[in-house]
Structure 1
Amino acid sequence: MAEISITRERIAETERLVRPYVRHTPVVRVDLADFGLAAGSDDLKLPVDLKLELMQHSGSFKVRGAFANLLTRPVPPAGVVAASGGNHGAAVAYAAMRRQVPATIFVPNVTSPAKAERIRGYGAELVIAGERYADALAASEAFLAERGGLAIHAFDQPETLLGQGTLGLEIEADLPDLDTLLVAVGGGGLIGGIAAWFGRRVKIVAVEPEGSPTLHQALTAGRPVDAETNGIAADSLAPKRVGELMFPIAQAFIDRSVLVSDDDIRRAQQALWDHVRVVAEPGGAAAFAALLAGRYVPASDERVAVLVCGANTTAVRFG
């Protein structure tokens, strides 16, 4: 197994750096019985804590990794360059705006309008390139080769993993008696950083859409492999494969991987709005979908938390 260099000590150092730039997001406790799931079973009446990281700057956890890069790596005059399904791009654009450096963000055409609007709103140059994240990444690499700049990878970059790991530190401070944490997975930067922080002290459950089972297939194969990139959450949870840096962390510390359907995710989005008045994007609601759909069934005495990690959607319009 490869050496794991994303350590608790380095995550704690990174947290001290990014703390002035990120929010400490709230935790809301809910009872699964309120969602109509109890059906007479005591096992489904336990309280569940929702870590509402979707209330973070730029609408997702991604600003943690963005600031970790900008605060620890030298930024050339050309500024920063990122490829993204949307949330990472918005986070890098926001961090670049706060640090007053130029940003060029590449996204695929599946990126939601809400995410594209955020990127432009933070003053970054937005370039739409290709059908999926891999296409946008290739376009960003060509741009960097021609014009230069600091590349900030969405998930396969040490600083990105360290930044996302600061969320694990924050969750432990909020919920010191936690047994199990459910986390959605795209490229794996979020769950990799969080799992590196917790190690085996908390059970980490990975949740992915059935249409983009990148980590699920990698764990089965014993290495990162290409997977499908389809489904309702394709703009946030559908890279071709998980990152090389996070994979040994996943092998060492992630308890299991479960899959949810697009319909499961839609029901979770609706339930979060109906019962908590939280508007989550599909990727942000995926981890909660695993509980609602019974893809993960906790024990009657298990302290469970769910990370609700993204809010960049146009699902709700006000007017």
Structure 2
Amino acid sequence: MPTGATTYPSREQIQRARARIEGHVRRTPVVEVQHDGHPFTLKLELLQHTGSFKPRGAFNSVLSASERPDVLVAASGGNHGLAVAHVGRALGIPAEIFVPRTAPEIKVARLRSLGARVHQVGEGYAEALQASREVAQQPGALSVHAYDSLPTVTGQGTVGAELAEQVPSDTVLVAVGGGGLIGGVTSWYTGSVRVVAVEPHGCPTLHAALAAGWPVPTSPSGLAADSLGASVIGDIGLAAAQDTGVQSLLVGDDDIRAARQWLWRETRVAAEAGGATALAAVLSGAYRPEPGERVSVIVCGGNADPGDLSAEPDR
């Protein structure tokens, strides 16, 4: 059944989150680009601390807690864990991060460099989350959910609030994993701007849920599974998407790979696969802008080895 009873952030809550995390996060830049004669805007959220949008929600979760925690606990495919580890180091709070054994080594190494205690458990996010729960129940521990808690989604909504100040948009394209970013951005725009969700064929959590009307378990796979590989959409993100009529598009791994290469060739921005997923919809034609339509694309993550990126034009 639909998630109509689920609460998602108000604009007022997102504005309070902006004030709360100000000074802890970067105001990330936008850049104007063109493809096939259509201009559009890239919101470079991969230039946020730790290489993704995730510190926004993590800082908001910790700074809005009723008491200062003794330890932060998080399960993650990598980017959320990096954010929580960064928050812990910035605020002087130890962090325990649980990641799947399949997490990219570049992310695991960065977690350790941030001073986090890293636990590699299972083959996917769901197993890492389950393993984290015992530690999260200890006195003084604060569990910081990757995408399905109101403080997390509210913090991610500050991406939308910031983008709205930088450029006017008719349409905003957002990659979806567990739904924290789409939930926050959609909550900010509240139907005044079209928000389009973009997912890989192998990670269709929102797409499947919108078709069914409720969260549907999936089996994440493919190029972007390390960052967009939630097995089920979060209730908050789904409720926001349902209530505002979010459209969901699917793109293939080849489209995502081509979008990464295009970003590097055209802008020298090295995105990870999940970070290039929303752009893949524009470049592949899965999303076709109307003449004069003002389109913005959130490039949400950059934690990948750039060694496979080429500056040479496609042949």
- TM-score where L is the length of structure 1: 0.93
- Residue number in structure 2 paired with 1:284: 275
**Amino acid corresponding to residue 83 of structure 1 in structure 2:** A
- Structure 1 residue aligned with 2:69, among 53, 69, 76? 76
How far residue 75 of structure 1 moved from its aligned partner, in angstroms, is 3.4
- Residue number in structure 2 paired with 1:41: none
Query: Mind listing any 5+ residue stretches in structure 1 that lack a counterpart?
Result: 33-37, 39-44
User: What SS is found at the alignment partner of 1:236?
Assistant: helix
| CA offsets 1:131-168 (integer angstroms, 9 cap, x no match) | 00001001001332467611000001110001000111
- Structure 2 residue aligned with 1:18, among 13, 16, 21? 21
| CA offsets 1:5-56 (integer angstroms, 9 cap, x no match) | 4100000001001011000001010011xxxxx3xxxxxx121100000000
**Amino acid corresponding to residue 105 of structure 1 in structure 2:** I
Separation in 2, partners of 1:211, 1:301: 32
Q: Is the 8 A contact 1:110 1:234 kept in 2?
A: no
User: What SS is found at the alignment partner of 1:258?
Assistant: strand
How far residue 225 of structure 1 moved from its aligned partner, in angstroms, is 1.1
**Amino acid corresponding to residue 181 of structure 2 in structure 1:** L
User: What SS is found at the alignment partner of 2:155?
Assistant: helix
When residues 76 and 114 of structure 1 are mapped into structure 2, their CA distance, relative to the original with a 3 A threshold, is same
**Amino acid corresponding to residue 9 of structure 1 in structure 2:** E
Q: Is the 8 A contact 1:89 1:106 kept in 2?
A: yes
Q: Is the 8 A contact 2:88 2:94 kept in 1?
A: yes
| CA offsets 1:178-201 (integer angstroms, 9 cap, x no match) | 100000000000010010000111
**Amino acid corresponding to residue 214 of structure 1 in structure 2:** T
Q: Is the 8 A contact 1:264 1:293 kept in 2?
A: yes
- Structure 2 residue aligned with 1:205, among 196, 205, 208? 196
- Structure 2 residue aligned with 1:135, among 120, 127, 133? 127
How far residue 116 of structure 1 moved from its aligned partner, in angstroms, is 1.1
Q: Is the 8 A contact 1:105 1:126 kept in 2?
A: yes
The number of equivalent residue pairs is 305
1:29 to 2:32 alignment: yes
**Amino acid corresponding to residue 122 of structure 1 in structure 2:** L
1:122 to 2:114 alignment: yes
User: What SS is found at the alignment partner of 1:24?
Assistant: coil
Separation in 1, partners of 2:246, 2:237: 14
- After TM superposition, the structure 1 = structure 2 runs for residues 211-226 of structure 1, keeping only pairs within 5 Å, are 211-226=202-217
**Amino acid corresponding to residue 32 of structure 2 in structure 1:** R
% identical equivalent positions: 48
- Residue number in structure 2 paired with 1:97: 89
1:172 to 2:164 alignment: yes
**Amino acid corresponding to residue 251 of structure 1 in structure 2:** Q
Separation in 2, partners of 1:251, 1:152: 25
- TM-score where L is the length of structure 2: 0.94
**Amino acid corresponding to residue 75 of structure 1 in structure 2:** R
How far residue 121 of structure 1 moved from its aligned partner, in angstroms, is 1.1
- Residue number in structure 1 paired with 2:313: none
Separation in 2, partners of 1:115, 1:5: 30
1:189 to 2:180 alignment: yes
Query: Mind listing any 5+ residue stretches in structure 2 that lack a counterpart?
Result: 310-315
Q: Is the 8 A contact 1:27 1:52 kept in 2?
A: yes
Separation in 1, partners of 2:41, 2:237: 25
- Residue number in structure 2 paired with 1:243: 234
- Residue number in structure 2 paired with 1:113: 105
How far residue 303 of structure 1 moved from its aligned partner, in angstroms, is 0.2
Separation in 1, partners of 2:213, 2:48: 34
**Amino acid corresponding to residue 56 of structure 1 in structure 2:** Q
Separation in 2, partners of 1:317, 1:290: 21
Separation in 1, partners of 2:268, 2:307: 11
Separation in 1, partners of 2:242, 2:14: 19
User: What SS is found at the alignment partner of 1:245?
Assistant: helix
Separation in 2, partners of 1:207, 1:119: 27
When residues 251 and 24 of structure 1 are mapped into structure 2, their CA distance, relative to the original with a 3 A threshold, is same
When residues 15 and 120 of structure 1 are mapped into structure 2, their CA distance, relative to the original with a 3 A threshold, is same
The two structures, once aligned, show a CA RMSD in angstroms of 1.4
